[in-house]
Amino acid sequence: MGDGGGQAGALTNLGIVRVLTGNYPAATAALEEALNIYRDSGDRRGQAYVLTYLGRMRLTAGNYPAAAANLHEALDIHRETGDRLGQAGALNSQGLVRRMTGRYQEAIRDLEEALTIHRGLGYRLGQAHALTDLADVRRATADYAAATAGLLEVLGICRDLGDRLGLANALTLLGGVRGLTGDYPGAARDLDQALTIHRDVGNRYGEVTTLNEQGNLSRARGDFGQAATLYQQALDLARQIGSPLDEARALAGLGRCAVAAGRTADGAAALRQALGIFERIGAAEAAYVAAELRSLSR
């Protein structure tokens, strides 16, 4: 039919599905083709939405500079066109990039602005996304009470809306927070439920994140053998889908298990591999792993 807008819309949705199933090269190809169509036709709104999705995908794939550039351009267009919902989506993703690179206060500012817009529009799904990402920053800054409160609100919204993917993402994060505060039974329950949903819907990125969290929980409980098994599963999956952040987190977990088991040389080797990835992608976790390695060398 020669309907360029229809083609671009289908390509955009195809790219989103490919991101969820961990096929980042194919997702990039679909989204960039959609972006070119929108640019050729002068559709600024379409460009901004595709740039937001590209930014989110590049964030997931560990390319933080490219993600930041895409999201900055998307936000400028949305502000220019007055698209409040688009602004909120771009701010949400920009906040995540800043969280991953350790710019926590800027991340909180972006995410709180996104949440305010979503609440003003009455868009509950957007509220759930912003609250989930805010909880992730709160966890990173050890504000576990605020993280838990936000996530409990998210669970209510997602259950009301029937949003299984949002529910699973919130449960994964809540399980991680509960593990850090010593609520191991609650953490195990949340993570088991999250993993089941992620596998049911085919969200491989959510699956690998949850496996790493389960590894963290088993390690906190002192079950280093089970933790190593979970981290290895996460490592294998992270490499399959091309998620460097999850790959580095799994390697760090394996290294910590090896050190706890008295295999210091093996542990240090895994931690050095993790550090190399964290540094390459610019993740804030590089500083913590570097400190662990300095402690081991002493």
Model pLDDT for residues 74-124, shown as the tens digit of each residue: 999 999 999 999 999 999 999 999 999 999 999 999 999 999 999 999 999
Here the tokens at position 286 are: 């590089």
Which pLDDT score, from 0 to 100, does residue 257 have? 97
- d(CA 69, CA 78) in angstroms, rounded, equals 14
Which pLDDT score, from 0 to 100, does residue 262 have? 94
The CATH number of whichever domain residue 78 belongs to comes to 1.25.40.10
Q: Is residue 102 part of a domain?
A: yes
Q: Are 232 and 254 in contact (CB under 8 A)?
A: yes
Q: Is residue 288 part of a domain?
A: no
Q: Is residue 134 part of a domain?
A: no
Here the tokens at position 108 are: 């909180």
Q: Is residue 194 part of a domain?
A: no
Q: Are 139 and 151 in contact (CB under 8 A)?
A: no
Q: Is residue 296 part of a domain?
A: no
Q: For the segment 185-233, what is each residue's pLDDT rounded down to a tens digit?
A: 999 999 999 999 999 998 999 999 999 999 999 999 999 999 999 999 9
The total of structural domains in the chain comes to 1
Q: Is residue 131 part of a domain?
A: no
Q: Is residue 221 part of a domain?
A: no
Q: For the segment 2-57, what is each residue's pLDDT rounded down to a tens digit?
A: 888 899 999 999 998 988 777 888 999 999 999 999 999 999 999 999 999 999 88
- d(CA 113, CA 77) in angstroms, rounded, equals 17
Cα distances (Å, whole numbers) of residue 266 to 35, 238, 252, 293 = 46, 20, 11, 12
> Please, what sign has the CA dihedral across residues 252, 254, 256, 259?
negative
Q: Is residue 73 part of a domain?
A: yes
Residue range(s) defining the domain that contains residue 31: 1-121
